[in-house]
Each structure stands twice: as C-alpha cells, then as structure tokens.
Amino acid sequence: MTEATELAAHAFRLPDEIRQFQELARQIVRDEMLPLEQKYLAHPAKSHSLRARDALRAIFPPEVVQRLYKLSQDTGLWGLNIPEDHGGSGLPLLAKAVIMEEFYYCAVPFPFAEVPNILYHCKGEQIDRYLRPCIDGSKIAAFAQTEPNAGSDPGGMMKTAAVRKNGEWSINGTKMWISNALACDFVMVQAVTDPDKRQRGGITMFLVDRDNPGMKVVEEGLPTWLDSTPSQFIVNFDDCRVPDSAVLGEVGQGFAMGQRWLTIMDRLLRGPFCLGKMQRGLDMSIDWAKQRVTFGKPLAERQAIQWKIVDMYVAIRAVRNLIYEVASRADAGEDVRTEAAMVKLAAAEWGARALDDAIQIHGAMGEALELPLSLFYRYVRHARIGGGTDEIQRMMIARSLLA
C-alpha cells in the first residue's frame, strides 16, 4: 500500500466493523487477485470481452477459479449485494461501497452473486424460477430497457409494447445495447402497456426466458471500443407470448422498478467501480514518477507531473467522501436519486480524467496492455455513457436544484 492509499484510507473514519471488511477485501486483492493480473491482462480478447465469470474460467485453470469461488463463499462476500432475508450479507450500502472499491483496484474480477435488485420483486413461482438461481449463480439475467431511439429518454420514447390478449401478453419491439443478452438465461424487459401513462404507470416489467421463440438475440452483437468481441446486443421481440405470471411486480410499475435499480446499483455503486481504478492509477503514477528518470531527474521532481498527481488525489478524496455520504444517507432511508446522479457524474468524469493523467505520466508504458491503465480508462470512460450519460445526470441534478 502506498502512502497515498494509506492517507486516503484514514481520511474518513469508517465504523470498525466496516473497516474490518475493508481490510479483508484489501488482503484478498493483495494476496489473491493482483498476482493473477498479468496473466489476465495477457488475454485481452477474453478478459475485455467476456462477462467476469466467464473470463475467469476462460483464462485461469479450474483450480484457480474454484479457489476464488470458494474464497467468495467462505468469506460471505458472494452475497455482498444480497439482502439478509435472502441469505446475503445484510451489510449496509456504505460497507458495500467500501468493499467494492477495494476489489475494483485490480483488473481481475472477483466472483460475486450477480442479482439485479429488481428481482427481489419476484413472488410465487418466480422466486424459485428466477431469483434463487441468480443468487446461487446457476442463472444469469439481462436487463432490457434501452432501444435504438430511446436511450436517454426511455420512458418517453419507448416503442416496445405489450398487449394482453387471449389470456396472455404479446410483446413486440426491439431493444439495443443489452449486456449479457447472448449469455443470459432470461431477460427482464420493459414494455409499454398503457401508451397514455407510459413512465407514469404505463410501463410493465416482464420476465422472458431466453428460449422463448418470440425473442431473438442478434448474435453478431454490437462491436465497440470496449472489447474485441461484442458484449452488447440487439434483442428483437416478435409476438413474444408470455403468461400473466411473467409480470414482475405490478402491471404499469416496471419503469419505476427499473429506475430504483439504476439509482443504487448502476449510479451510486458505479462510484466505487471508478474509484478503485482511480486509486490504482494514482498509486501506479506515484511509483512510476519516483523511479522514472528523464534528463537526469526523476519525474517526481517535475512540477507538471506533481500537479497531475495532486489533481488525481484531490479528485479521489472528493469522490470517496461523496460516495460515503450518499451511501450513508441511503442506509438511513433517504431518497438519494439526485445524490446518486452526482456520484455517477463525478466518479465517471473525474475518473476518466484521472486515468488519462495516469496514462500520460507513464508515457508509452501507459498504453501497454501489460498494465491495467488503458483497460481501466476504457471502463471508466464508458461510465460517462452507460447507465445514463453525464448530460442526463446533470439534467436530473438541475431539476432538483431548480424545482
């Protein structure tokens, strides 16, 4: 741990029980994850393109993957984001943010249960069919909201519609930029069920099995600069028939459920996703500046480098304190939709700038794939778009300020 990391860790006095989890996570990253990073980065076609769980299995031998999964299960970290009444950790959001920052310090993904919190609205047979399999890792979910012309304004522009007829629902439309669509077992899809109400009670969430004949994933995918093999997909619904039991939650309440998920899981927790990478970039930059000598002096003695490092450190401290405050307020039951937008905006914008500076400090080595900096930069730069663009976050914050 560098002096910068140590100083940042003590900037805010976390409760002792959370600090214990922080130390556990940091120990796992140091002892288990970082030693695997070089091998992970040496396979960019797999590590950059596959889901975290699939990438581990594609790159490392079974005994390594099994050890990580066992470590996750034995420490209880597997259920980090699962409520206690469903067998999870029951930890507050602040603890989750602190722990996730530590794991996002390393490029190698640590295995956690991947359960969109929308699924906790499951009831009856939905619990055994969808929720529990996601908790134990035997099923994968995809979330389908975005459409070709309905990205930043999904509620107002959504065209995918579901009509009830003959005792079942028929879904028609197209979704775009859907992560996990090719690998998933089922899709949580939003569809307009009342065009007059739309996002105010007229959009419903449906659970659609991957093998439903009315749902087709375009397997070619959508190539982006984030990966060499597409991980985003177009999903077409053509008279996709589902029963009433496929409705998740209540008819008309699907948009509100999706927004609650995005507020916490995508906006607020995107903060530690960026923050861990920012901290790693700072630590690497400090080490590099001390050892790299040009024209007879180490980079650390040059003001241009010093100021970049200072800017990175200030951004990290600001983002970390903002995350801690908003997570604590969410734990207290406050409505933090505006504040979560602030976290996403600050972490993504300042994170991209910090990692850009880290790459610049490293020079040509900053672009080398053997270092995690270019991968981190792509991920954090994407955070300015995925889950709602910077502009949308500003609109949400402005609406709150000027209401």
What is the 3-class SS of 103-122, one letter each residue? HCCCCCCCCCCCCCHHHHHC
- The predicted model gives 42-67 an average pLDDT of 84
For the chain, the domains span 3-113, 119-252, 268-402
Element housing 143 (H / E): strand 141-144
Is the pLDDT at 147 greater than 60? The verdict is yes
Is the pLDDT at 7 greater than 70? The verdict is no
Tokens for 346, please give them.
């600050």
User: CATH code for 3-113?
Assistant: 1.10.540.10
> Can you give the pLDDT at residue 155?
78
pLDDT (tens digit per residue) in 233-248: 999 999 999 999 999 9
Q: What per-residue string of b and e applies to 156-172 under the rule 16 or more CB within 10 Å gives b?
A: eebebbbeeeeeebbbb
pLDDT (tens digit per residue) in 293-330: 999 999 999 999 999 999 999 999 999 999 999 999 99
Is the pLDDT at 49 greater than 80? The verdict is no
> Can you give the pLDDT at residue 153?
78
Is the pLDDT at 5 greater than 70? The verdict is no
d(CA 48, CA 218): 20
119-252 against 268-402: fold identical: no
Tokens for 209, please give them.
């099995």
Contact 188, 144 (CB under 8 A): yes
> Can you give the pLDDT at residue 47?
72
Residue 354 identity (one-letter amino acid)? A
> What kind of fold does domain 119-252 have according to CATH?
Butyryl-CoA Dehydrogenase, subunit A; domain 2 (2.40.110)
Would you tell me which CATH number, out of the four given (1.20.1250.40, 1.20.140.10, 3.30.1330.60, 3.30.70.3280), belongs to the domain 268-402?
Answer: 1.20.140.10
Percent of the chain past pLDDT 90, that is, above it, reads 77
- pLDDT-based confidence at residue 72 (cuts at 50, 70, 90): very high
> Can you give the pLDDT at residue 68?
96
